[in-house]
Amino acid sequence: MSLITPDFGLLFWMTLIFGIVFFVLAKFGFPVILGMVNKRADRIETSLRQAEEADRQLKEMAEEQKRMIEEARREQARILNEAAASGEKLIQEAKEQAKAQTSAMIEQAREEIRIEQDTARRQIADEVTGLAIEVAEKLVRGHLDTAEKQSALIDKMIEEARANRNPVN
C-alpha cells in the first residue's frame, strides 16, 4: 500500500464509514446543531429587536428630557420675570408709600409751624399790648400827676364822647 495511491478496499471502507458517520450526523447531530443555531439566531434576532426597542425608548426619553428641560427653562424664565415684576411693583409701592408718608410729615410739620407762629404772634401781641399799657400808664401818670390835669382830661373825654354821639352838631 502506498501512501500516495490508496487501494480500492481502503477507499471502499473510508467511503462506507464516511457515509455512516454522515448518516448518523444527519439523523442525530445536524438537527441538534441546526436547532441550536436557529435558537441562537432567534436569540440574536430577539436581542437585536430589544436593542432597537431600547434605542428607540432612549431616543424618546432623550427627546422627553429635552422637552422637559426646555419647559423647565421657560418656567424658570416666567418665574424670574414674575419675580422681577413683583420686585418692581413692591419698589414702586414702597416709593409711593414713602412719598405719601413724606407728604403727610411735611404737611404735619407745616401745620405745627403755623400753630407755633400763631402762638408766637399771640404771645408777641400780648407782650406788646402789656408793654404799651405800661408805657401808656407811665405816660398818663406823668401827665396826670396833679388833680387839675386829671379833671381837665376827664372833661376833654366827656366832650369827645358827646361829639361822637352827635355828629350833626
How sure is the predictor about 1, in pLDDT bands with cuts at 50, 70 and 90?
low
Reported as a pLDDT band with limits 50, 70 and 90, residue 111 is very high
- The pLDDT tens digits for 25-53 are 989 988 999 999 999 999 999 999 999 99
d(CA 92, CA 89): 5
pLDDT over 70 for what percent of the chain?
96
Give dist(CA 120, CA 144) in Å, integer.
35
The model carries a pTM of 0.41
Cα 60 from chain centroid (whole Å): 35
Report whether 2 contacts 10 (CB < 8 A). Answer: no
Sign of dihedral through CA atoms 142, 143, 146, 151?
negative
Residue with cell 464516511: 18
Q: Which residues contact 10 (CB under 8 A, 6 or more apart)?
A: 1
